[in-house]
Amino acid sequence: MALDRVEDAGLRLLAAVAPPTGRRRLREVPAEPARTLGLRLTELAAALTAKQDEVDAVASRALRIAGDVAICLEADDDNRVVWAEPDTLAWAPIDVGDALRELLWEGGPTAVLVSATLTTGDDFGFVRERIGLRRGAREIAVGSPYDFRSQTLLYLPRGLPDPRAEGALDRIVEEVTALCRISAGRALVLTSSYRALQAVADGIRGRVPYEILVQGEAPRERLLERLRDEVGSVLVATSTFWQGVDVPGESLSLLVIDKLPFAAPGDPLVEARCERIADQGGDWFREYALPSAVLQLRQGFGRLIRSHADRGVVAILDPRLSSRPYGRAFLESLPPCPVAVDRAAVADFFAQEALMSA
């Protein structure tokens, strides 16, 4: 059957290029397996065309996938990066600015772009450049309606090792455990990798007397619903939980961030974008890696205070905020709030909160 031939060709291509885990950038895709898959997909589309509406949709999808496979064969395109995962072959543009400028901004309708995290510091330059907006675009940065000075404590513990040092994850687990005991749970722990997520989740279970919720063990919305409803629970998460999490009230009173959210340098798309900047004579760290991480940290920080009545602690367990010159860029991007370096100050904050609510 045509479908069986498609499956067989797909498996052969993935066997030739896909790593056992993670992502592998492909600077050249094996031509013969890729062409065979494209041919089999085209044959499937031809066999299904002009059938029922539902089957027609499958035929159209087969043709679209065949087109994507053909694009992956052009892995040397200067604005395309191709990679493989254990069960996926994918591609993405390195720079979308020119396409957005041509298709959306120039000659199109008026567009209003709104977000809580469009700036690094007070500058729109990074986002503007990434999405292809010319400098003539009108910009305005509006301050937050929340009083972070009275609603939030920023905790930057002293004495933690560099997150890349041996044993650093063990120290993070110890710190998360102590903080969750002080806060009586009510916490969201954001990690920067799935490895850290699993280490933290495994490390605090049995040591923290509260329900531990872990990304991947239930659907996203179910986990957030339980975090809201089960006051005292602790959610350990990564990836998309850095954005779009809205848990106002007592249920989220402690936000822990394990380390500065720099993108993995070996990620194919990140690597390709940094290479392009370097090839053009730029500084890939200052122009891409740093501002991307600053925006990600701002998004994570924003999970805590969701209403005028909210109060809580943000703990960032990365000593590079203080030890590296670029730490200032992160700190200056965060809302102004009191900073503590001793865990006792966190205990005092929650003790005062308990008195206020008594």
DSSP letters for 271-334: HHHHHHHHHTT--HIIIIIHHHHHHHHHHHHTTS--STT--EEEEE--THHHHSTTHHHHHHHS
Low-confidence ranges of the chain (pLDDT < 50): none
| DSSP string computed for 2-58 | HHHHHHHHHHHHHHHH--SSS-EE-SS--HHHHHHHHHHHHHHHHHHTTS-HHHHHH
Tally the domains of the chain. 3
- Whether residue 251 contacts residue 275, with contact meaning beta carbons closer than 8 Å, is answered with no
- Whether residue 321 contacts residue 327, with contact meaning beta carbons closer than 8 Å, is answered with yes
Residue 337 sits in a domain whose CATH number is 3.40.50.300
Among 92, 118, 133, identify where a domain stops: 92
Tell me what pLDDT residue 103 has: 85
C-alpha span between 299 and 117 (Å, rounded)? 7
Same structural domain, 219 and 308: yes
Q: Which two tokens stand for residue 95?
A: 């720079």
C-alpha span between 242 and 182 (Å, rounded)? 23
Residue holding tokens 């903080």? Answer: 179
Same structural domain, 198 and 240: yes
Tell me what pLDDT residue 104 has: 85
Tell me what pLDDT residue 144 has: 85
- Whether residue 79 contacts residue 95, with contact meaning beta carbons closer than 8 Å, is answered with yes
Same structural domain, 67 and 139: no
Report CA dihedral (50, 54, 57, 63) to the nearest 10 degrees: -60
**What's the pTM?**
0.88
Q: Which two tokens stand for residue 63?
A: 């043709």
Report CA dihedral (218, 221, 222, 225) to the nearest 10 degrees: 140
Same structural domain, 107 and 234: no
> Which positions ≥6 away from 114 have C-beta within 8 Å?
none
Same structural domain, 83 and 98: no
Same structural domain, 181 and 319: yes
Same structural domain, 105 and 251: no
Same structural domain, 224 and 275: yes
**Domain span at residue 237?**
148-357
C-alpha span between 289 and 285 (Å, rounded)? 5
CB atoms within 10 A of CB 343: 16
Same structural domain, 165 and 139: no
Same structural domain, 261 and 160: yes
Among 114, 143, 172, identify where a domain stops: 143
The one-letter amino acid at 32:
E
Among 59, 92, 125, identify where a domain stops: 92
Same structural domain, 228 and 349: yes
The one-letter amino acid at 236:
V
Tell me what pLDDT residue 106 has: 83
Tell me what pLDDT residue 34 has: 84
Which of 273, 357, 345, 341 lies closest to 309, judged by CA?
Answer: 357
- Whether residue 185 contacts residue 211, with contact meaning beta carbons closer than 8 Å, is answered with yes
Same structural domain, 58 and 154: no
